[in-house]
Structure 1
């Protein structure tokens, strides 16, 4: 939500791509959360609602504070941009714990390849956009994100072969029943 606020014309003019792309992302995330809440146990629902409530209250406070307290695009862009840098960097740095775990266990079991690749490619795309637009607030977190994503991919390549493969699950054998005519004219049933 912070990137959407950053991209609106009242804060940072000429950032329509930032608003539209992050707006689509927000819609997809909302849909995902709706499905999660639909099937989650009540404790999970409560936790999600509390986090969403805190996020909405925080965003309302930021929007009111920035729009009422600052009256130039430069100041608004600076304040919201710094917050976006902080939150964006935290988002990209969140897999660092998984990377530490990979190095410690010499296994990539808990670091999904596709998530690492998506993080790297997302960081690259947004960094290229930011360099074209000369927007430092988009460049910093996404440049760091591209570096973190690249580091994850290097770790994945390095430790992939040393990751123990899960044993294939043994097939459950059902008993075989054979029905045959018996010697006495009846039916004979044998189970193996």
Structure 2
């Protein structure tokens, strides 16, 4: 009978596959943006937030912070690269006011990341203390990543349209939260359980909204309301 570590590894591999799908699920959205040469009413919030989230989780998985978290490193390193690409696409096809906001957020994230790495590596020597500090930060940003689509969900409720809430992204968010919650429960890690449990809830809410407003969505209506980034 497989032991807990083996099962956890298998779940982690499944989590990597689903997380890969999560990171790739916005691709149809970016194809639309690329063809239209405009971001339209799509929002960059989830992608900009996820850049820092992936960077922090990749740092959390490194051996000098936590042990036996190679699968956390691999998927978040890939996620970091793909989210940077998505953010660049948004930057290229946005107007100047949105570009300035994206630049400001990315700059703040970069400064924050460098500061955290420096302070943790040079001022904190014990593994358990590093894990606690970085883990708490990861929880915060993982929650932000999962709930960044709340801005889009508010738009869905107001317009009674799911046109600008990609279905595949919502499904991937839900499944990703479920699998990584199970992964963390098998070898208790509250820093992975908490955000992914909330992520499961966020994904479920998005799917419920999709079911409610799918029929009222005018898929061919390009005259959608203009909504500012929040």
2:171 maps to 117
Alignment of 1:161 with 2:215, yes or no, is yes
1:186 maps to none
Could you tell me which of 29, 46, 66 is aligned with 1:12? 66
1:71 maps to 125
Alignment of 1:60 with 2:114, yes or no, is yes
Matches within 5 A, 1:170-181: none
Structure 1 stretches lacking a partner, 5+ long: 169-192
Which structure has the highest strand share of the two?
A: 1
> Which is worse superposed, 111-120 or 137-146?
111-120
Cα RMSD between the aligned structures? 2.6
* Alpha-carbon distance between aligned partners in 2 of 1:50 and 1:65, rounded to the nearest angstrom: 23
Could you tell me which of 134, 139, 144 is aligned with 2:193? 139
Alignment of 1:127 with 2:127, yes or no, is no
* Alpha-carbon distance between aligned partners in 2 of 1:149 and 1:28, rounded to the nearest angstrom: 20
* Alpha-carbon distance between aligned partners in 2 of 1:64 and 1:30, rounded to the nearest angstrom: 22
> Which is worse superposed, 140-149 or 119-128?
119-128
Could you tell me which of 129, 139, 151 is aligned with 1:85? 139
2:17 maps to none
SS class of match (2:183): helix
2:203 maps to 149
Alignment of 1:107 with 2:161, yes or no, is yes
Greater Cα radius of gyration, structure 1 or 2: 1
* Alpha-carbon distance between aligned partners in 2 of 1:101 and 1:53, rounded to the nearest angstrom: 27
1:2 maps to 56
SS class of match (2:154): helix
Taking structure 2 as the reference length, the TM-score comes to 0.63
Taking structure 1 as the reference length, the TM-score comes to 0.74
Q: How many residues align?
A: 168
* Alpha-carbon distance between aligned partners in 1 of 2:101 and 2:115, rounded to the nearest angstrom: 21
